[in-house]
Chains A and B, each alone.
Chain A
């Protein structure tokens, strides 16, 4: 009896479906893929992990149980959504950002520009930039920021949720900093600048 109770508890735990409206994990994965591609760092190919190591009878039991629960708490159920990052707009923006990265990279490395806490770039040491390069760096940062904003909106649009742009921006904000290369400057959420 005790074993049966434990089994039922295990089944219930194994079958809980979390209702995620914004696919945060997928967004982080998508952000990493895009950022690494733009920065020419190929993301490591990770084999999809098995979702569960349940045996066939356990899976069948789960499905049965889940279907039963659906009838009671249908509103709580949602599929773990993926995030599409493929549309003409996204491809165009990624291409533009990838081209621009070559020009941005030495400015990251020199500390002239840094990644703000919101994921946008800022010219953080304009006095150090040689006069002949100053306008170019300023314009590069402005163009990159405009493209980043458009990219977030394009991803939101491609997923049929234009309202996700803000959340996508927040997700990317952390990922830009995480993908910063050694020597680059980034701003933490409490406003402190750090060098990777």
Chain B
């Protein structure tokens, strides 16, 4: 080795003052096996003492590739040897120097021989922790071993000049073993432990608090291909945020194990097997190929998901995806198994089995329990495997649907029911003869539905909706449902048989039915309701006779009427008994402020319990929050609501043709009525 020194200059300095008080040998530089040693001085000190010390100092030691970013400076060795082509330094001290910073002095040892060299720096106190670094080189081969204990994360960030992630708390231990040939890394073993780490990226989209984790990475290069395996354990108590997911690791540690290969040239990572497990909440395992040449892209993946705790799964992994969407507030409980495949970053096939699943909604739009079934879907348009879903309990809004099962086919952009189904509904059935849905690119989806309502109990419906109990039934034929301009429209008609008469609902349509602000459109035809039955139900005061009418162009926004044209009155051909009780007259007449009540109470009319009438009628054209009122007859200054018949004759006339809708509702809620009563 020595004969390879490029420049060797011997300088012998003999002190003349104290007769060989010191002896010094200077070598400009030594270059061997890519190690470069500069400004070497060997000095004999304390030569006057019986035990002299020979000290080696080196101004700078430049390391071979791939460590050539590092150098050691201000080296001093009290124990060294320089002979037989070998430079050996033990019990030395040195400072580690990089282009960006210089460490304090640490323990140092060096061994440079003809074809090999090694250097060790230990007890290096940087970043609040202790580091030890060993590098060895033998011909073209090298290996490196670094251990670090209790490195403060803040200092570590400064040391690494990491700008993308700001570390605020915690400390780290790590151990790195790496080996290679020339400038190529051949193997890496990295064990890392973070303790109570806290920090986040500049944009806040990745963050951690109280993160304690262990990570173990092993990677070997073979014929241009890296084989790797990785184990990660996140311990209890960590809080993690990776937009949009927030994970409170809580008492259920997270495990992520994977192995595979890495093709640096193709910018491709293969995961031959991977497992992500978050306690009992979820386990996801499978294989994948990921490409990162341009954007991050899952080229292919086959994954299996299993959850015994869908409640926690939906809280941790689904809720973030549902925020500020129509799904917000919906959560699941129960068990789920799903196998799915991804091709070119898109779902290509899915088989999901749900077992005793419950669906809950904080907005109470839907609730289900005992949901069991298998959903099979593929993006293949020839896919034919059926899916099914059954439930023990289902509630849509306040309306319960009985236990039922649906068999259907889902493929590509389509859902189609395979068999006719009859869903028990309020004592009757909702029959689904046909149902299909198909998404169209750049267009609104196509929807087709054919079915009918059969003998749905009005009593059960009124109970479910917390109305005054009504008796009757609802039938309807819905031959077609369309979805256009974000509006769901039903053809056909729903017929409610109630109070010995009939209410027919047609032109039913809705937009945003399950949103916070649903809009509903409809037309109603009311025919021959028995007023005696109707008024008994509402304790309005007895009225006998029939009632017919209509509500046209009804628009409800958020279940409140916005506009309509409505008329309710005695039908022309009604030959039934027409009697109205004092209470009903008072209730109709009291809208104006109660004068009629006083009049009826004080006059001789108080001896009559009922009065005859010829016609009753009241209409409203609601627009811009104002109801334009109308009655059976127009008067010069008002409109007749009750036209008397027989003696004593009683007429109720309204004098205010325009009534604010809110005011009208307030009056009706107090069961109050019109402006004046004229008694003849």
Contact = CB atoms under 8 A, between A and B. Distances in A.
A88 to B, nearest CB: 6
Contacts of B558: 95
A96 B512 CA distance: 12
A51 interface: no
B516 A126 contact: no
Given A134-B207, A136-B323, A138-B244, A91 B557 contact: yes
Contacts of A140: 323-324
Contact of B239 (A91, A123, A131, A142): A131
A131 B241 contact: yes
Contacts of A92: 512, 517, 519, 557
A143 interface: yes
Contacts of A135: 241, 243-246, 320, 323
Contacts of A88: 519, 555, 557, 562
A89 to B, nearest CB: 10
A127 interface: yes
A134 B241 contact: yes
B204 A134 contact: yes
Contacts of A139: 244, 323-324
Contacts of A127: 200, 204
Instruction: Please name the 9 residue pairs, one residue from A and one from B, whose CB atoms are nearest each other, closest first.
Output: A126-B204, A143-B324, A139-B323, A131-B241, A139-B324, A135-B244, A92-B517, A95-B517, A135-B320
Interface string B553-570: 001011000100000000
A132 B519 contact: no
17 contacts: A86-B624, A88-B519, A88-B557, A91-B557, A92-B517, A92-B519, A92-B557, A123-B204, A126-B204, A127-B200, A132-B246, A134-B204, A135-B241, A135-B320, A138-B243, A139-B323, A140-B323
Most A CB within 10 A of own CB, among B240, B517, B557, B624 = B517
A76 to B, nearest CB: 33
Contacts of B324: 139-140, 142-143
A102 interface: no
Contacts of A143: 324
Contacts of A136: 323
A96 B516 contact: yes
Interface in A11-64: none
Nearest to A92: B517
Interface string B198-231: 0010011001010000000000000000000000
A92 B324 CA distance: 15
A134 B243 contact: yes
A129 interface: yes
Interface residues of A, number: 21
A86 B519 CA distance: 15
A99 interface: yes
A91 B243 CA distance: 32
A131 B209 contact: yes
Chain A interface SS verdict (over half): helix
A192 to B, nearest CB: 21
A126 B203 contact: yes
A92 B244 CA distance: 27
Contacts of A134: 204, 207, 241, 243, 246
Interface in B87-116: none
Interface string B613-644: 00000000000100000000000000000000
B482 interface: no
Nearest to A127: B204
Interface string B179-212: 0000000000000000000001001100101000
B240 A131 contact: yes
A104 B624 CA distance: 31
Contacts of A91: 517, 557
B433 interface: no
Nearest to B200: A127
Nearest to B245: A135
Nearest to B244: A135
Interface of A: 86, 88, 91-92, 95-96, 99, 123, 126-127, 129, 131-132, 134-136, 138-140, 142-143
A25 B320 CA distance: 41
Nearest to B247: A131
Contacts of B203: 126
A63 to B, nearest CB: 30
A96 B557 CA distance: 13
Contacts of B512: 92
B248 interface: yes
Interface string B420-459: 0000000000000000000000000000000000000000
A173 B240 CA distance: 36
Contacts of B248: 132
B661 to A, nearest CB: 14
A132 to B, nearest CB: 5
A45 B572 CA distance: 48
A86 B200 CA distance: 45
Contacts of B243: 134-135, 138
A117 to B, nearest CB: 21
Nearest to A131: B241
Given A88-B557, A131-B239, A135-B244, 17 more contacts: A92-B512, A92-B517, A92-B557, A95-B558, A96-B516, A99-B516, A131-B246, A132-B246, A134-B241, A134-B243, A135-B243, A135-B245, A139-B323, A139-B324, A140-B323, A140-B324, A142-B324
B204 A129 contact: yes
A30 B323 CA distance: 30
Nearest to B512: A92
Contacts of B241: 131, 134-135
A127 to B, nearest CB: 5
Nearest to A91: B557
Nearest to B322: A139
A99 B329 CA distance: 14
A23 to B, nearest CB: 20
Contact of A131 (B207, B517, B555): B207
B361 to A, nearest CB: 16
A140 B245 CA distance: 15
Q: Which of A86, A123, A127 has the most CB of B within 10 A?
A: A127
Nearest to A125: B204
Contacts of B204: 123, 126-127, 129, 134
B105 to A, nearest CB: 38
A92 B246 CA distance: 31
Nearest to B518: A92
Contacts of A95: 516-517, 558
A107 B248 CA distance: 22
Nearest to A128: B204
B24 to A, nearest CB: 58
Nearest to B166: A127
